[in-house]
Amino acid sequence: MGPFEYFEPATVEEAVSLLKKYGEGAKILAGGTDLVVMMREREIKPRYVINLGRIAGLNYVHLDGDKGLRIGALTTIAGLERAPELKSSYRIISQAAARLATIAIRNMATIGGNLCNAAPSADMAPPLLALKGAVKLTGTAGERIVPLEEFFIGPGVTTLKPDELMIEIQVPAVPAHTGGMYLKHGVKGAAGLAVVGVAAVVTLDIRDSVFEEVDIALGAVAPTPIRAKRAEALLKGQKISDGLIEEAARVTSDESSPIDDVRGSAEYRREMVRVRTWEAIRGALKLAKSV
């Protein structure tokens, strides 16, 4: 690890002014589970490290019926896994949290770090994309809300400006008869990175057995986490049937653009997208019928 100057600001304002002062040479540190590994492996050599750990008030899960859900960027993945607010409508979030790495990592890793690190395989991204989440960023020009769909630009690249911090994740209220499921397909179980991640959120028109709304998001099969919009459009407003779900799973697979790497070939990944999407839609459908 190269030499760097280390800061522990006590407020968001202080952190932003440090970012403004040191610009591209500075890096934010939250849980450190991505950053420290990259620094050790000399993938990055920041000259200034700004640890957010002393900033109070960025670790929370707030549920407000009509307004939806707000999560502080410094909330740990273990905190999300256990949060009572995420045991019903937003269960897909705690489900994904429980599948991220090991408990030791989850105790340190934060949701803000998972999204800002912007790995294509980030486990928290697909469920939050499928729930139509947004992120609140703050910098010298003030605050802005960015839909998560527009936040990811490429592997490790986001719309965050050099003087900006992520402070909150926002998720709209979930309509009645909605169920969500995240399935992580990995080679080494929960401790390994996703080979394929699929999140499906289904809202039903119970009376007519129709898919009112379906949101499908994928991880690890494109340069960024993505939505499968053609498959979503295929299902929306249609009568529920096995054939339609199979077709949607196939279309989702076509929408993915995986690469060959040590964790799996592109062909294998495309097939796993199809299989896991089918399972995720079926699982979400079952949950939607029960609430």
Give the interface with ligand FAD as residue ranges (CB under 6 A). Answer: 27-35, 37, 73, 77, 100-101, 105, 108-110, 112-114, 116-117, 122-123, 160, 165-166, 193
Rounded CA-CA distance 88/111 in Å is 19
Nearer to ligand FAD, 75 or 253 (CB): 75
Least Å distance, CB 85 to ligand FAD, is: 19
Least Å distance, CB 7 to ligand FAD, is: 13
Rounded CA-CA distance 35/152 in Å is 18
Nearer to ligand FAD, 55 or 251 (CB): 55
Least Å distance, CB 213 to ligand FAD, is: 26
3-state helix, strand, coil in the chain (%, to 5): 40, 30, 35
Least Å distance, CB 237 to ligand FAD, is: 33
Nearer to ligand FAD, 123 or 255 (CB): 123
Length of the chain equals 291
Nearer to ligand FAD, 80 or 234 (CB): 80
Please count the other Cβ atoms lying within 10 Å of the Cβ belonging to residue 103: 13
- The distance of Cα 34 from the centroid of its chain, to the nearest Å, equals 15
Joined together, the tokens standing for residue 14 give: 């202080």
Rounded CA-CA distance 116/139 in Å is 15
Nearer to ligand FAD, 59 or 238 (CB): 59
- Residue with the closest Cβ to ligand FAD? 113
Rounded CA-CA distance 138/111 in Å is 16
Inter-axis angle of helices 242-255 and 266-290, to 10 degrees? 140
Query: Which amino acid, residue 36?
Result: V
Least Å distance, CB 230 to ligand FAD, is: 26
Nearer to ligand FAD, 101 or 249 (CB): 101
Nearer to ligand FAD, 6 or 243 (CB): 6
Strand partners, 139: 142
SS (HEC) of 38-84: HHHCCCCCCCEEEEHHHCCCCCCEEEECCCEEEEECCCEHHHHHHCH
Least Å distance, CB 19 to ligand FAD, is: 9
Nearer to ligand FAD, 9 or 31 (CB): 31
Least Å distance, CB 150 to ligand FAD, is: 16
Joined together, the tokens standing for residue 264 give: 């799996």
Three-state secondary-structure class, residue 232? helix
Pairing outcome for strands 26-29 and 48-51: parallel
Least Å distance, CB 33 to ligand FAD, is: 3
